[in-house]
Each structure stands twice: as structure tokens, then as C-alpha cells.
Amino acid sequence: MESVDGSGVAVGMKMHRLALIEHTGTHIDAPSHFGEQFKSLGEIPLSDLVVPLVVVDISAKAAKSRDAQVEPADVLAWERRHGRLPDGCCVAVHSGWDPFAEMARNQAAHSHNSTGFGIEAARMLAEKRRVKGIAVDAMTIDSGPNVPSYPVHQFWLRSGRWGIEGITNLRSVPPVGALLVVGAAPIAEATGLPVRAIALF
């Protein structure tokens, strides 16, 4: 594409038209992903997208089962070591996986194996703690066996909270103490979008 600068001289310029599925790569699920009456990405306040980050490591049980999920006991075990979950945090599950390799494996095997959150843990984080977001190093916040009915998506997103799927590099983030910056363009009606999930620590 060519353009003309202020002096009337043509300058080289490059740009692309981009068309993508919102729920691609490392991405955020906005509440409206599970109901258009809920907040879209553009309606999530910035103060909900810069939050303390907590990492719960379930890699030991994920090594035994590709469908391992976070249970309330995992959260309580984390709290015994690190103290109560900070208010307004994001809880990320470290299952020790590369989410994109897992997605390719599932596609090849026509399977839905996936680590994620169990519904009891999701309810605990929403109702007994003050958690704003959850994140998984898999491609769904629901663990594999729950994928057909998506109970965690239904409950969590419809409560006005967000999720990040396909987060990476959790092994280099401390269990507590990092600040998560969820870099997402505030597109008015988006139900999700690829994000730069940046941990500062």
C-alpha cells in the first residue's frame, strides 16, 4: 500500500487486514463468551486486568493424568505454604504443559484430554475468596472430562469474571508475588482476544 506524507511525497507503508477467531493462542475469555448479557472484553475495567498473580502447581498429578484438575484441596495446600490468596488476584494453574503441543496432540488423537479447574475449586475461588481471574496452561479452563458441558466456563464467566487459556512459561513465575498485566485491546463487543499476559516480579 502507498500513502502520501504531509509534504505530498509518496512513502512506503505496510499493513495487513487481520481476521482471526477471538479464542486463539494465549487468549482471554470475557464473561460475554458465555452469554451476551455479560461483560464484553471492552467492558472489563483495566483495574481487573492488572492484578496479583498466584501460581498453583498441579504438575505432579498432571504427570499422572492428562485430565487432572484443581480441587479445593490444592488451593488449601497452596495457602498453607504461602498464606491466604491475595484479594483480587488471578489464580493460574501450572500443570507443566505446553498448551499448544497439548492442543496438537488432542487434535491428532481426536481427544479432549486437558488439565483445568474443577467446579468446586471455581466456586471456592469466587465465593470464599476474592479472585478476579483464572488462567490455565491448557486451552480450556474446564478440565477435559467437563468439556462437553463446560460447568466452569458457565459458572465462572457468568459470575462476571474472566479466564485466560493457553498461558505459558508459568514455571519461571514465583508461586506468589508477581503482578499480572493482561494486555488486551478493549474491543467493545469482543468475547475474547489474544493477549500478552505479562508477569512482573
Pairing relationship of beta strands 50-57 and 2-4 according to DSSP bridges: unpaired
Closest residue to Zn ion, Cβ-based? 23
Considering the complex, what minimum distance in angstroms separates the CB of residue 69 from Zn ion? 17
Binding segment toward Zn ion, per CB under 5 A, in 5-13, 16-24, 123-131, 172-180? 16-24
Site string for Zn ion, 129-168 (x = CB under 5 A): ------------------------------------x---
- Residues 134 and 162: their CA atoms lie apart, in Å, by 7
Considering the complex, what minimum distance in angstroms separates the CB of residue 7 from Zn ion? 46
Contact 101, 131 (CB under 8 A): no
Binding segment toward Zn ion, per CB under 5 A, in 3-11, 28-36, 87-95, 150-158? 28-36
Comparing CA positions, the residue from 97, 129, 126 lying closest to residue 31 is 126
Site string for Zn ion, 53-92 (x = CB under 5 A): ----------------------------------------
Binding segment toward Zn ion, per CB under 5 A, in 67-75, 120-128, 145-153, 189-197? 189-197
Residue number, 95 or 140, with CB nearest to Zn ion: 140
Residue number, 23 or 112, with CB nearest to Zn ion: 23
Residue number, 23 or 158, with CB nearest to Zn ion: 23
Residue number, 38 or 175, with CB nearest to Zn ion: 38
Q: Does 29 bind Zn ion (CB under 5 A)?
A: yes
**DSSP string of the chain, one letter each residue:** -EEE-TTS-EEE---------SS-SSEEEPGGGG-TTSPPGGGS-GGGTEEEEEEEE-HHHHHH-TT-EE-HHHHHHHHHHH-SPPTTEEEEEE-S--HHHHHHHHHHHT-----EE-HHHHHHHHHTS-EEEEEESSS-SB-GGGTTT-HHIIIIIHTT-EEEES---GGGS-SSSEEEEEE----TT-SEEE-EEEEE-
Considering the complex, what minimum distance in angstroms separates the CB of residue 153 from Zn ion? 8
Footprint on this chain of Zn ion (rule: CB under 5 A): 23, 29, 165, 192
